[in-house]
A and B are shown apart, each in its own frame.
Chain A
Amino acid sequence: MIEVRDLHKHFAEVKAVDGVSFTARDGEITGLLGPNGAGKTTTLRMLYTLMQPDQGQVLVDGIDVAKDALAVRRKLGVLPDARGLYKRLTARENIDYFARLQGMDESLIRLRCKQLITALDMADIADRRTEGYSQGQRVKTAIARALVHDPRNVILDEPTNGLDVMATRSMRRFMRQLKEEGRCVLFSSHIMQEVAALCDRIVVIAHGRVVADATPDALRAQTGETNLEDAFVKIIGSEEGLAA
């Protein structure tokens, strides 16, 4: 479970995140929805301890990020916005490297590698150098690398960005599988349909603030729109109206 309380972060004059609070529960998929530049990536970076919040608190499975960052990172599987594979290593070597940094032992590494390569259907590419991979193959490798230590909580920053239809569908299937395994899945997106298709709970962020936090059905009811996309536009739009 990931709990976020009143998070703030600014860069020079810009308030990137300005009071974000929400909770992502185990066994649920929580979607962080917002237009480009709303503060989604910055929020996620504070969750996986890459950045320090100016103010506010993050708890992962009850552990405070500010107090024990290493313990928090152990409980998280992270697919950052930047996939950053090592081009001169094979997919398997990429996964193996992160597994070792997680402190896993040899037999467990081999087992998890095999499981993930099967689950992500990447057996045919696993022993090829990642240089020249397609976008989909790259994301698969990065996800396998992020989940090798079998974390309870999974953070995915724009996981379907740049994927074609087939790859997007298999990514969705994989996320549902993570949810069925009882994990807490938190992902960010700026695509309405995707969030609607997957999420148990939607957190809408605009201008660094949470403007809505509800189930998809509740969101529709709240705005009086039957179409989620219209609901989204209405939420963001009204907020922009307020800000102006």
Chain B
Amino acid sequence: MKTTLTVFLKEVKENLRDRRTMMSALILGPLLGPVIFIMIMNVVLTRELNKADHPVKVPVIGAQYAPNLMDALKQQGLLPQPAIADPESAVRNRDADVVVRIPQGFGEAWRKGQASQVELIYDSSQSDTASTVGRVKGMLENYSRRQGVMRLVARGLAPAMMAPVAVDERDQSTPQSRAGLMFGMLPYFFVLTVFMGGMYLAIDLTAGERERQSLEPLFANPVPRWKILLGKLAATCLFSLVSLLICVVAFGFCGKLIPIERLGMRMDLGISFAAQVLLMMLPLVMLLACLQTLVSAFAKSYREAQTYQSVLMIVPIFPSVLLSVTPMKIADWMFYVPLLGQQVGIMQLLRGEQVTAVQLSSCVVTGLVVALLAMALTAWVYRSERLAISA
């Protein structure tokens, strides 16, 4: 115990003096996620909000053929722009989101009581124009429905004849669950922070020491290697834990900076959320520290270890990708799988649902068991004769 503590304190002291490790573990790693997140969310949200509030400017060709329609559209917030010569290429070149074209025969068809044609020219592969297109389409349908109702009434028919089936939507999503949909990448940010926080230590304390040839004198001391390893793992865990802590707190502040409630969503990243995230992530902190050290033990140099780490970094992406590609119902067995358990657990919290005590404990316990196995494996590799020898 004393040996492990000695190693732990020395590694912490040594790495606190290393600017690169400090930058990566305590500033870059944990804050990059929240900063990117705020930036992306602010851009997305302001754009969405602007589009909903502001009048849409749409070039209209042949406005003179349908003055009544134009008045109705103006009332709904459409600002007609002068006609343009080549609407197709204008839309493709993104000079306009959407163009309305009213053919010459509009008025005549209208007077005959036939269906009058209006063309909407847009490019659906440009996804950011979708909301404008949707709004214009909605305005046109709105006008069409109203006029249809008036024609029926003029002929003495009940407007209900036009709508034999009335669809009433009852959306069961809550403001929080809608937000959860949007913040699906949050769990991955947490895992990434843990990874980044411990990475430089894991490399430095094994591959780095090997490269600097200090493992050989270290192992000449009368202490078993596994005790030295435990001290090194503890130091790695401490750094990634602090990193995670900073990240969770930063996201807590983030929640307040994003004007998410204006979209009818709610996000609770408060203390109870933070505490549950930390608890769930704890076994992952240990597991990743062990895996990173294990991988480093196979590397002869710092650089080689870095290469291995970047391969290892792909592993935590799998559950996120899996869940986004094949959206599955969250089942209890998922909590038994490290990484996946954390992912679904945090998602559930974001949706404003409870994570039950059973789910939480199965997530933590299996995580710890797997972490201990990884630790035993690392200790076994640490016994290798070659580990101490650098050249």
What residues make up the interface of A, taking CB atoms closer than 8 Å to B? 45, 48-52, 70-71, 73-74, 76, 78-89, 93, 97-98, 100-103, 142, 145-146
Contacts and interface: CB of A to CB of B under 8 A. Distances in A.
B114 interface: no
Contact of A80 (B10, B216, B224): B216
Task: Report, nearest first, the 4 A-B pairs whose CB atoms are least far apart.
Answer: A84-B214, A82-B213, A73-B222, A84-B213
11 contacts: A51-B385, A73-B222, A74-B222, A76-B220, A86-B10, A88-B17, A89-B10, A93-B10, A97-B6, A103-B2, A146-B217
Contacts of B390: 82
A86 B204 CA distance: 11
Given A142-B217, A146-B217, A101 B385 contact: no
A73 B13 CA distance: 26
B212 to A, nearest CB: 6
A140 to B, nearest CB: 14
A12 to B, nearest CB: 12
B363 interface: no
Contact of A82 (B2, B217, B385): B217
A146 B223 CA distance: 14
Which of A80, A85, A103, A145 is most buried by chain B, counting CB atoms within 10 A of its CB?
A: A80
Contacts of B15: 88
Interface string B1-14: 01100110010011
Interface string B353-381: 00000000000000000000000000000
B388 interface: yes
Contact of A100 (B6, B17, B216): B6
A102 B2 CA distance: 10
Contact of A89 (B7, B13, B221, B389): B13
B221 A98 contact: yes
Contacts of A81: 216
Interface string B91-128: 00000000000000000000000000000000000000
B218 interface: yes
Contact of A101 (B13, B209, B216, B223): B223
Contacts of A102: 221-222
Interface residues of B, number: 29
B14 A83 contact: no
B25 to A, nearest CB: 15
What secondary structure prevails in chain B residues at the interface with A?
helix
B217 A101 contact: no
A71 B221 CA distance: 10
A83 B385 contact: no
A50 B2 contact: no
Contacts of B388: 50
Nearest to B385: A51
B215 interface: yes
Interface string B136-167: 00000000000000000000000000000000
Nearest to B390: A82
Contacts of B224: 70
Contacts of B222: 70-71, 73-74, 101-103
B18 interface: yes
B212 A101 contact: no
Nearest to B21: A88
B333 interface: no
Contacts of B218: 84, 101
Which of B3, B10, B213 is most buried by chain A, counting CB atoms within 10 A of its CB?
A: B10
Interface in B5-47: 6-7, 10, 13-15, 17-18
Which of B6, B217, B224 is most buried by chain A, counting CB atoms within 10 A of its CB?
A: B217
B14 A50 contact: no
B124 to A, nearest CB: 58
B220 to A, nearest CB: 4
Contacts of A88: 14-15, 17-18
B213 A48 contact: no
B219 interface: yes
A100 B209 CA distance: 19
Nearest to A98: B221
B48 to A, nearest CB: 49
